[in-house]
Structure 1
Amino acid sequence: MAGNPRNGRPYRRLCDQQRAMQYPCWICGTDIDYSLTGPEASKHPLAFTLDHLLPVSKRPDLLLDPANARSAHRRCNSRRGNRMTVKTAGASRRW
């Protein structure tokens, strides 16, 4: 049985490449605090996480595809879950 592919070297390399680009959060558009690393970043809501445009739960074949990788805040990534769409900040519902 294979382990979690997100614990492997290829996934960490993809995270490092995405982190090095220092992009803002693709979901809310605000800056990510890239200075947060290690244990403090694992719970901080404004820390960097690697998000996937097409969720891994629906497209596991794209886990390591750089074209599917996006920078996001931990909070935004968690809030989005595995939905295929993104609700942008400031968007309102029209009834």
Structure 2
Amino acid sequence: MCRPYRRLVDRLRAQALPCWICGHNINYKPYGRRHPLAFTLDDETPLSKGGDLLDPATPVAHTDAATASGGRCR
């Protein structure tokens, strides 16, 4: 799973999309995974409820925005 995931991350980073939850721009420079403004892949349908993280339509978000939603379907 590592390579397909990395390819998806690289492709989404290159698009420089805003956070799909809050709408603000994401700074795509590496902050470290735990920084609240760090880039992360989110999932519209949580993985625990059958979502697919490798879906090409996976939205991007800030870490804090994705964490705040906490596994709830949006």
TM score, norm. by length of structure 2: 0.88
Provide, for residues 20-58 of structure 1, a one-character-per-residue CA deviation record: whole Å limited to 9, x for no partner. Answer: 1101000000011112x1xx3212101100111111111
Q: Secondary structure at the match of 2:47?
A: coil
Paired residues, number: 74
Within a 5 Å distance, the mapping from 1:1-95 to structure 2 comes to 5=1, 8-35=2-29, 37=30, 40-60=31-51, 62-67=52-57, 69-85=58-74
Q: Secondary structure at the match of 2:48?
A: coil
| CA–CA distance in structure 2, aligned partners of residues 52 and 42 of structure 1 | 17
4+ residue segments displaced more than 2 Å: none
| CA–CA distance in structure 1, aligned partners of residues 40 and 53 of structure 2 | 14
Q: CA RMSD in A?
A: 1.3
Unpaired runs of 5+ residues, structure 1, are 86-95
TM score, norm. by length of structure 1: 0.71
Q: Secondary structure at the match of 1:30?
A: coil
Unpaired runs of 5+ residues, structure 2, are none
